Amino acid sequence: EKPPVFRAPAAAKHAVDKFLSGRRPVTITLREKDKWISRNSRVSDWLKFADYLHARGHDVLFVRDTAYADEPLRHQGPGVQYGTYPEASHNLHVRMALYEAAECNLFVGNGPASLGWFSDRPWIMFAPVVPNGHPDWANTPEFWQEMQGIEHLGQYPWSRSDQIIWWGSDNYENLCDAWGDLMPHLQAAA
């Protein structure tokens, strides 16, 4: 059965259109929680990857975890200082409108990733895999089978070729490899 597609309300789309002013960014949504920190985004790897995307002509916009929404990212490298969109971190409708306007949306396994799963926009979600019985149950094959209905290393049955779970951590090498795998699908859709 085809699942529903989430859509942002018109007011949120208008706010995002005004904020973006014609831009179509690649969004990077960060998980930055104090609990289950092993599931957090590797921010330094994402910033390095943002430099990689920027060097290839992509506009990059970060969506920080709600607790850090109003704090700028601290880039330690020689790259560009990347912007954030605090309103998208605070407001679910604005977040969805941003994801709808993006070239592609990138996530780790977190709540906001579900907005990507039920959208018609390209996305990649990075999901590291640990063995069954590991304390980080949300990254075990057992969890994915029982809670998501997905076989080990599978995909959501409704996902398109430009909507993928990348079965690995969000380290820089995986970010680049996943992007390389996605690029032909993005180009075909363009």
Is residue 187's pLDDT more than 70?
yes
Categorize the per-residue pLDDT at 76 as very low, low, confident or very high, splitting at 50, 70 and 90: low
- Residue type, position 74, single letter: R
| Whole-Å CA distances, 101 to 34, 79, 126, 159, 173 | 30, 25, 21, 18, 27
Name which of 52, 45, 162 is nearest 102 in CA terms: 162
pLDDT at position 39 is 86
DSSP state letters, 91-147? -HHHHHHHHHHSSEEEEESSTTHHHHHTSSS-EEEE-----TT-S-GGGSHHHIIII
What is the helix (H) or strand (E) element at residue 89, kind and residue range? helix 86-90
**Lowest-confidence segment of 21-25, 60-64, 71-75, 111-115 by average pLDDT:** 71-75
Categorize the per-residue pLDDT at 79 as very low, low, confident or very high, splitting at 50, 70 and 90: low
Cα(62)–Cα(66) distance, integer angstroms: 12
Is residue 2's pLDDT more than 90?
no
- Counting Cα atoms < 13 Å in the Cβ hemisphere of 186 gives 17
Looking at the chain, the whole-number percentage of residues with pLDDT higher than 90 is 80
pLDDT tens digit string along 18-63? 999 999 999 999 999 888 788 889 999 999 999 999 999 999 999 9
Q: What is the pTM of this model?
A: 0.94
